[in-house]
Amino acid sequence: MTQEVLRTESLARAFGGVQAVAGVSLSLYAGAVTALVGPNGAGKTTTFNLITGNLRADSGTAQIRGKPIMGLKPWQVARLGVARSFQDLRLFTHMTVRENVLAATETASWFWQPGGRVARRQRETRADAALDATGLTALADARAVDLAYAERKFLSMARILAAQADIWLLDEPASGLDLASRIRFGQLLKDAQARGVAICLIEHNLDVVVELSNRIAFLDQGKVLAEGDPQTILKDPALAAIYFGDRPQEAA
Ligand SMILES: Nc1ncnc2c1ncn2[C@@H]1O[C@H](COP(=O)(O)OP(=O)(O)OP(=O)(O)O)[C@@H](O)[C@H]1O
């Protein structure tokens, strides 16, 4: 495996009586796609939220290239090169497609962007390249709210691309995409991988997982039950039973 860029150790977080994440140790590697797979409620999104600073961990640590990130705010984690997408996309729905992507290139506050006109032009170039790569150039002036479902998913990906991060945390980015869109999405991931981006993908569609990922971390009840190459993990009958809701009953 190539260089480890992000590592969590024993991350844990409870909500009241629910132990959503119960000691997750996970590594992401440059140029590799790690799929986070597991049944509903396994703790996948919460794990992302703990890494990105959207939620505080009760215990455990995380580091990016050796730098501890626990306690940092989401924007500080983003500055360390982490871009993240959400299941509900969180677009600026009443802004245009281009404005949405431009916002993802901003490096300081919305009111003060360093570098003046030259930096602004560089950000615009990056935004245009991201629109091109996601097939959204013709829709650049449309409002996000007027886009079709797949176009919104690609807008979310264009924001990730424009951020020029080298760690991507993607929460169900391919869900609901038709085959042609999935192929386009797969190409985006492959191109990013070739550039050395470390990608973590939450994905329920196991065909997509097999097609796009190099490794799987299988989560259940807040714990990583197994890690390894997709073919091996997905052949394990015990994991399949958990994934498909046919969990063996615990002894009384
Ligand atoms: N903010 C919250 N408040 C209370 N409980 C929460 C909160 N966020 C998550 N949970 C609970 O924590 C557990 C893990 O949720 P999480 O969303 O991380 O799972 P997931 O693996 O991403 O699920 P899915 O595949 O359905 O998106 C679930 O039982 C969920 O109900």
Verify whether ligand 1 is closer than 6 Å to residue 238 (CB atom).
Answer: no
Q: Are 236 and 220 a contacting pair, CB within 8 Å?
A: no
- Kindly give the distance from the C-alpha atom of residue 40 to the centroid of ligand 1, in angstroms, as a whole number: 8
DSSP state of 87: T
d(CA 54, CA 67): 18
Radius of gyration for the chain, computed over Cα atoms and rounded to the nearest angstrom? 18
Of residues 2, 200, 185, 165, the one with CA closest to residue 74 = 165
- CATH number belonging to domain 1-81+199-247: 3.40.50.300
Verify whether ligand 1 is closer than 6 Å to residue 38 (CB atom).
Answer: yes
**Residue among 45, 201, 203 to mutate when testing ligand 1 (max atoms within 8 A of CB):** 45
In the chain, % helix, strand, coil (3-state, to 5) comes to 40, 25, 35
Assign 240 to helix, strand or coil.
helix
pLDDT given for residue 248 in this prediction: 62
pLDDT given for residue 183 in this prediction: 93
Atom of ligand 1 nearest to the CA of 172: 27
Of residues 216, 183, 182, 179, the one with CA closest to residue 199 = 216
Strands (E), the chain: 4-15, 18-29, 33-37, 59-64, 67-68, 82-84, 167-171, 198-202, 215-220, 223-228
Residue 249, both tokens = 């009953």
pLDDT given for residue 251 in this prediction: 46
Verify whether ligand 1 is closer than 6 Å to residue 20 (CB atom).
Answer: yes
Verify whether ligand 1 is closer than 6 Å to residue 18 (CB atom).
Answer: yes
- Kindly give the distance from the C-alpha atom of residue 42 to the centroid of ligand 1, in angstroms, as a whole number: 7
List, edge to edge, every strand of the sheet that includes 198-202. Answer: 82-84, 167-171, 198-202, 33-37, 215-220, 223-228
Each domain of the chain, given as residue ranges in start order, spans: 1-81+199-247
Say what the ipTM of the complex is.
0.96
pLDDT given for residue 113 in this prediction: 57
Per-residue pLDDT of the chain (252 residues; tens, 9 = 90+): 589 999 999 999 999 999 999 999 999 999 999 999 999 999 999 999 999 999 999 999 999 999 999 999 999 999 999 999 988 888 988 999 999 999 998 765 455 556 667 788 888 999 999 999 999 999 999 999 999 999 999 999 999 999 999 999 999 999 989 999 999 999 999 999 999 999 999 999 998 999 999 999 999 999 999 999 998 998 999 898 888 887 666 544
Q: Are 140 and 129 a contacting pair, CB within 8 Å?
A: no
How deeply is 108 buried, as exposed, middle or buried, from its count of CB atoms within 10 A (0-12, 13-18, 19+)? Answer: exposed
Verify whether ligand 1 is closer than 6 Å to residue 41 (CB atom).
Answer: yes
- Kindly give the distance from the C-alpha atom of residue 18 to the centroid of ligand 1, in angstroms, as a whole number: 9
d(CA 5, CA 56): 21
- Kindly give the distance from the C-alpha atom of residue 47 to the centroid of ligand 1, in angstroms, as a whole number: 9
Of residues 38, 70, 66, the one with CA closest to residue 52 = 70
Measured by CA distance, the residue closest to atom 18 of ligand 1 is 43
Predicted structure pTM score: 0.92
- Kindly give the distance from the C-alpha atom of residue 43 to the centroid of ligand 1, in angstroms, as a whole number: 6
pLDDT given for residue 252 in this prediction: 41
Verify whether ligand 1 is closer than 6 Å to residue 49 (CB atom).
Answer: no
